[in-house]
Amino acid sequence: MPTFAAIDIGSNSCRLKIAVVHQHRLKTLHEDREVTRLGESVFQTGVISPEAMAGTIRALKRFHKAVQLHVVDKVRVVATSAMRDARNAGAFTEWVKSATGWNVEVISGLEEGRLIQLGVVTHEVGARGRCLMIDLGGGSCEVTLSDRGSIKSMVSLPLGAVRLQEQFLQSDPPAKADIARLKQFIERELRRADKKLGPVRVGLVVATSGTAAALAEASGHVRKGNMAGKSLAKKRLERVGPLTADTPDVRKLAERLIKMTNAEREAVPGIGPRRSEIIIGGALVYASLLERFGLKGFRYSPLGLRDGMLSQMLAEVDLRTSVHQKLENERWEGVLEVCRRYGTDLKTVEPVREHVVQLFDALKVVHELPEEYRLWLESAAMLHDIGKFMNHQGHFRHTQYIIANSEIFGFSPEQRLVVSAIARYLGKSRPDPMDRVMRVIPLEQQVNVLRAGVLLRLAVALNQDRASATVRMRAHVYPKRVVLDLVPGRGGAELEAWSLRKEADYFREVLRRELLVDVA
């Protein structure tokens, strides 16, 4: 039973969740959280302050002890909005590496939203219908329209609670002019979300993160009328079922919070001392967002980014889980979307994909690649021509750049780099460890990238004459050689055979066997 750990380095807090796989499901073993305000200095100065770095490192060292105690098999560490913006993010990731041995992935806002959606729909049956998901963190706000467990549209907005506090609210209570500027900024960003998402007709709104929990708890007191002057009564409400908040209550709460001092906000049940410092911006975003899209309110979910990370780790090792199929579908739809975006003719690349899969399966004892490279090769085969959208000359360089920098749902930044490197070296150039493309590939993956690249080169060579029917191929593996028997299509197979024989020297250099080609 493998054990996984997911660590989310957010703009406001760091979170750890450790889970073990039990009967194809995840069972939580340990959770931890520390408010570190990593984004506080970033949103003021553009860099992470030494104090914020040190505080976050202390939290991560504590997480590291918990990971060792639970004998975790795989750890994934991701960072979000603050790290995306920080000019000195590289220095911090190196500090994390030296202190814990962990590599930090700085993920995009859309990847963050995808993982949150994955975590919610995996664990909440009610969220598998048509619903809107809102995650307002410290640096950004991800809004996702989901239907039957699939993402229909998504937008990431710079409307995080810490970001808004640092950029707009400088006094306590905030000045009216600052509130007016903040509201104007929120409306501008929500107009952008409106254009991206279009009409939102959903029966359920799921909100995650601490701001949503605080607003749901506090708005219940507004609904009960537990008010005394500018402060809310400290008496906690008895709740049955999930935390929810109605839109009118959220708006009423937001307008009252902006008139309070921090001490008064701190006294509001559900908000507390640390949340009170950043709650105003988050409350105004929720109120405006719910009103703009005509939503009745939201239901709070304690699930979040770390749950999506754990679900993805489960999907990658357990092929019998439903989340595995969802992840595979999501990845493939992401690949097809990039093909459509850059005008790729799917009829011309599909035979390349079929041949590279055939080669991968037939030559397993030769290439010895991990099983996940099957998908990486399929993806590279589908995308290997997209660079022609920019320029036919040197298009393999353009292909690599587009894949590495495109948002392809389900692929981590490292996985996109691997796919892009496989697709890069299809022309005259060969991979070199000192190339810019290869230097960013983890050392342990570089040999695999070379071997995968050879298979893709063979698949491309098998599809030279696109005007004729596809050439069929049979592979025979011997101790010192590989023989490819070609069955010609309508136009013969001479061009394909010639192209394959040109790859024989490189095949021998990388895979240590002779390559022979016969035409039936």
Report the distance separating Cα 19 and Cα 344, nearest Å: 41
Q: Which of 193-207, 238-252, 291-305 is least confident?
A: 238-252
Percent of the chain beyond pLDDT 90? 69
Report the distance separating Cα 293 and Cα 457, nearest Å: 49
Determine the pLDDT at residue 247.
94
Q: How confident is the model at residue 234 (pLDDT cuts 50, 70, 90)?
A: very low
Q: Classify domain 3-107+306-312 at the CATH topology level.
A: Nucleotidyltransferase; domain 5 (3.30.420)
Indicate whether 157 pLDDT > 80: yes
Report the distance separating Cα 144 and Cα 130, nearest Å: 11
Indicate whether 470 pLDDT > 70: yes
Q: Architecture of domain 125-302 in CATH?
A: 2-Layer Sandwich (3.30)
Indicate the angle between helix axes 443-461 and 494-502, nearest 10 degrees: 150
Domain edges within the chain: 3-107+306-312, 125-302, 319-519
Q: How confident is the model at residue 490 (pLDDT cuts 50, 70, 90)?
A: confident
* Burial class of 82 by CB neighbour count within 10 A (0 to 12, 13 to 18, 19+): buried
Residues 115-140: tens digit of each pLDDT: 999 999 988 877 878 899 999 999 99
Indicate whether 231 pLDDT > 60: no
511 CB-near residues (< 8 Å, 6+ apart): 363, 366, 367, 451, 454, 482
Indicate the angle between helix axes 279-292 and 210-224, nearest 10 degrees: 80
Q: Classify domain 319-519 at the CATH topology level.
A: Hypothetical protein af1432 (1.10.3210)
Phi-psi label, residue 275: left if phi above 0, alpha if psi -120 to 50, beta otherwise: alpha
Do residues 413 and 396 lie in contact, with contact meaning Cβ atoms separated by under 8 Å? no
DSSP designation for 128: G
| Section 347-368 average pLDDT | 95
120 three-state secondary structure: helix
Structure tokens at 501: 């024989």
- Topology agreement, domain 3-107+306-312 and domain 319-519: no
Residues 9-58: tens digit of each pLDDT: 999 999 999 999 988 889 999 999 999 999 999 998 999 999 999 999 99
Report the distance separating Cα 295 and Cα 141, nearest Å: 17
Report the distance separating Cα 91 and Cα 416, nearest Å: 23
467 CB-near residues (< 8 Å, 6+ apart): 491
Determine the pLDDT at residue 223.
64
Determine the pLDDT at residue 273.
85
Determine the pLDDT at residue 243.
86
Indicate whether 466 pLDDT > 70: no
Cα distances from 222 to residues 117, 204, 228, 245, 512, in angstroms, run: 30, 22, 11, 10, 73
- Our CA dihedral for 246, 248, 250, 252, rounded to 10 degrees, sits at -150
Indicate whether 211 pLDDT > 50: yes
Which own/partner pairs from 501-504 qualify as long-range (CB within 8 Å, at least 24 positions apart)?
Answer: 502/461, 503/454, 503/457, 503/458, 503/461
Rg over CA atoms, the chain: 26
Percent of the chain beyond pLDDT 70? 95
A 10 A CB-CB count for 274 gives: 14
Indicate whether 229 pLDDT > 60: no
CA end-to-end distance (rounded Å), the chain: 49
Report the distance separating Cα 267 and Cα 273, nearest Å: 8
Determine the pLDDT at residue 465.
67
Sequential DSSP letters for 387-424: GGGT-STTHHHHHHHHHHHS--TT--HHHHHHHHHHHH
Q: How confident is the model at residue 328 (pLDDT cuts 50, 70, 90)?
A: confident
Do residues 134 and 141 lie in contact, with contact meaning Cβ atoms separated by under 8 Å? yes
Indicate whether 152 pLDDT > 70: yes
Indicate whether 200 pLDDT > 70: yes
Strand partners, 8: 15, 78
β 231-232/150-157 pair status: unpaired
A 10 A CB-CB count for 74 gives: 13
- Chain centroid, CA 143 distance in Å: 14
Structure tokens at 304: 């979040």
Q: In what order do the strands lie in the sheet with 104-106?
A: 25-35, 13-22, 3-9, 74-79, 104-106
Structure tokens at 470: 């596809």
How many residues in total does the chain contain?
Answer: 520
Residues 243-274: tens digit of each pLDDT: 899 999 999 999 999 999 999 999 888 898 88
pTM: 0.82
